[in-house]
Every structure is written in C-alpha cells, then in structure tokens.
Amino acid sequence: QGFTMPGCFFLIFLIVAILGCPISSMGYVNYSPLLSRSTRITRTGISDVKLASISVRLRGINPCRLRRSHDLRMQASEAKSFCTLVIQVVRQDDENGRTIDADELSELLMETGALSVIVEDADRGTEQELPIFNEPGRAERYWNNCNVTAFYPHGWDIPAVLEMVVKSMDLPVVPRYAVDEVRDQDWVKLVQQSWKPILIDHLLLRFPWHSKEDIDSVVLQDSEIHELMLEGGMAFGTGEHPTTRLCCRWLQQKLALEHGQRVRVMDYGAGSGVLGLTSLRFGAEAAVGVEIDPDSIVAAHSNARLNGMESFKVYLPSSTAKDAELIEDLRYAAQLRQLSGMLSWNDMLETLPDDCHGYDVVVSNILAGPLIRLAPELARLSRAQGLLGLSGILHEQAERVIEAYEPFYEQLRVEQEDQGWVLITGKRKP
C-alpha cells in the first residue's frame, strides 16, 4: 500500500505551513483549488469561505467543529514536523453504487485540520497520464485515478480522520491509504534555495532574500538589466513558467519598438502583476490589471509597492458586478483577510471602471478555455490596431484560440513557443 512522496510536495507545503504564502507555478486567476501543474491541484487552509455549504454537503460533521478547523490549522502551522495521509480515489462506483468524489474528500480533509491537500494524477509519468487544467466549463475536473494527499502536523489523530471520512461519505470500508512521515528541516532555507533569480532577456526577476552573489550568478557583467522584486504570495507569476517567460519577452520587444510613445497596457489575469509591472519597467506610460482572485490582487498591489509602482492598479472584471453571488463570496473572503491582516484597505476590491478600454497592448496569460470565452471582452479593451499577446496555450490548442479571435483581430499567429507552450499575437482590426 505504499506510495512514494515526490519531493516537490514538500515545496508547496512548506510555503503554506511556514511562510503562510502558497505560490502556484501555473494557474488561471485562482480557481479553487489552485492549479500547480497539469497533474497536481493544491488547496490550502487559508480561506474558509464555504463552511456552511460544506457542513450541509458532508454528512456527520458538526458545524462547530468546522469553525474550529481554521483555528486548528493556525495553531498547527507552527509545527515543524509533519505526516502525510494519502488516500487513493478511483473513479468507479463502490459496491453500494457510490463514487468517492475527490473534491468532496479534499474539502473534508481540510475540515479535519489538514494544513494542505493535494490531488494528484496517480498515473502521472505513465502513458495513462491525462493533462487536466481545471478550466471552468470543462466536464473533467479530476482524473480517473487520483492520490489525495493531506498534510498534518506530526502526531495528528489519523485514525480519527479516517473514521470521519468513512462516516461522512457513507463508505462501506476505509479506502486504501498510506501514512508517511516528513522529516524536520530548515523549511525557510529550503524554499529560498529552490528559487533562484530569473533572467528573461533584459528582465531580472528576483526575490527579497537574493544576495548580490545570487544575482551575479545569472547576470553578465555590464549587461543592461531592468530589475523587478517579487513576492509571489498566493498568485501565479514568478517567472519560472514558460508562459510567463514568453509574455515577458514579447512585452520587452514590443515596448522597445514603441520607445518614447505613450503606451497603455492591460494585463488581463494579472496574478502577481508581473506582466503589468514588466510593462511599466520597460517604458509603458500606464498599466492596469484584471483579476478574479482577492489573494492575487493583494499580491499584485504588494509587488507594485515593492517596486515603487503604486500607479499599477488591479481590478475585478467588469462582469463581476452582475454576479451577486460571486460579489458576496469575494466580499466575505476580503473580510476574512482583513481580520487576519492579509488584506489592507489599499487592496479593497473594485470592479474595472467603464472608462478602462482602448489599450495599446492587451496581454493575457491564462488558459486556452478561458481565453476563448474572453475573446469579445479582450477585443473590447483593445484600441483599433492595438497589439494582442496571449499565452497559457498548449501547441495543440493554438488553432482553436486563433479561430476565436479571428472576428476581432488580424495577423494572428503563433509567434513563439517554449516547452510546448505558445504565444499567440495579433493586431486589433480597425
């Protein structure tokens, strides 16, 4: 019954448990759960927005116990040694005609005090591996064969957790599982060693702990370099992923051609704000971001202040104002973050003003599905003959994305490719 624990599990967990700022290396404006890569989905215990609905859906859980789970996680986050509980979920009906739902199980494990839960493709690395990007509107949310891994402090009552899983999900027997220990380490040092400064042509992305020696190791002497300091927080965009590199490289090239011109940039799906901030660093007159995730908005504004670019503002999509339920959820999430000190009044959530349009450059690094649906909105934000840059798109998805934008843009093409990911560019039709 043993499963191997990939070393990168530790990295995600360390940030959650020790730094309190989980970073996803790939994702679209933070659906829950966060997308870390095609074969791994991660959720953390930071936002308990849906406690009431969870307590109704999951049988046998006392709502008071649910409210305590947040406090338990906050106390447990001080722990330095941990254990993992891995439950195998196979998408097939059990003998009572019931399927174990990976999403429901991960929510339940969070409410039993888990610090972090990872849902991973059990067929990863085999011919059966299936890329799933958790895009909205797609039927497949999880894989047919999943490993659901929960991280708990050392000494947690795992038998009690399993008992609650069986009772709450009406299972006839305890599902197949494995428990493993995670040895104590200097987690902060380990995380910092994992992120090196990143050089993308003339752009240097660095983190607060990087020393001069770290920077000199990647930058050639006398090179003309523009530097950005980033603290990714819970947002996507630390420069490691090929799609971020593609967009940063393209922005540098286009802004260099427009040198001296008054260029306004829209970063749609801003994440950490790296693309909007890159635009400002390379000469754009103004940049604005759009996001649907409060944590990403916080991270983007924090990075703007860190780099002396307080003019960079990130908004919720204008369509958000029409979704009363979403607005209520976002406001509740913001209240929780204000109480915990994670959100300041400077980061209050606002929808994109009606007069925000006519941008010279629109760049969006999301995923193919959302980009296809966003084609009319991105076209609305572009000025006539304005430039478009799209990424978060796999090579085999490029044709579908181009077809979606053909009614609005001309000269559409795959301009660059990096490790199977592509950058699509075009020019707004007059």
- Nearest 5 degrees, angle CA 217-CA 218-CA 220? 95
Phi/psi for 328 (5° steps) reads -60, -45
**Would you say residue 129 has pLDDT above 90?**
no
**Would you say residue 17 has pLDDT above 50?**
no
Average pLDDT of 366-382? 95
Task: Tell me the pLDDT band of 254, cut-offs 50, 70 and 90.
Answer: very high
- Please give the mean pLDDT across all residues of the chain: 77
Write the pLDDT tens digit of every residue in 134-150. 665 565 667 878 899 99
- Nearest 5 degrees, angle CA 285-CA 290-CA 292? 165
Length of the chain: 430
Which tokens belong to 43? Answer: 């959720």
What's residue 341's pLDDT? 58
Write the pLDDT tens digit of every residue in 347-356. 567 889 988 9
Average pLDDT of 183-208? 81
CB 215 within 8 A of CB 206: yes
CB 117 within 8 A of CB 161: no
What is residue 169's DSSP assignment? T
CA distance 333 to 418: 36
Neighbours of 218 (CB within 10 A): 15
Beta-ladder partners of 35: 41
Task: Tell me the pLDDT band of 209, cut-offs 50, 70 and 90.
Answer: confident
For residues 29 and 215, the model is more confident at 215
Which tokens belong to 271? Answer: 């994440």
**Would you say residue 7 has pLDDT above 50?**
no
Surface-to-core class of residue 231, CB atoms within 10 Å of its CB (0-12 exposed, 13-18 middle, 19+ buried): middle
Edge-to-edge strands, sheet with 198-200: 198-200, 203-206, 226-229
What's residue 158's pLDDT? 92
Beta strands in 213-334 (DSSP E): 226-229, 264-268, 286-290, 313-315
Average pLDDT of 304-321? 90
Average pLDDT of 270-284? 95
Average pLDDT of 55-79? 43
The pTM (predicted TM-score) of the whole model is: 0.68
**Would you say residue 28 has pLDDT above 50?**
no
Q: Is the peptide bond before 33 cis (omega within 30 degrees of 0)?
A: yes
CA distance 34 to 234: 9
CA distance 63 to 281: 49
Surface-to-core class of residue 49, CB atoms within 10 Å of its CB (0-12 exposed, 13-18 middle, 19+ buried): middle
Task: Tell me the pLDDT band of 325, cut-offs 50, 70 and 90.
Answer: confident
For residues 22 and 272, the model is more confident at 272
Amino acid at 133: F
Give the three-state DSSP class for 240. coil
Radius of gyration for the chain, computed over Cα atoms and rounded to the nearest angstrom: 22
What's residue 386's pLDDT? 96
What's residue 372's pLDDT? 96
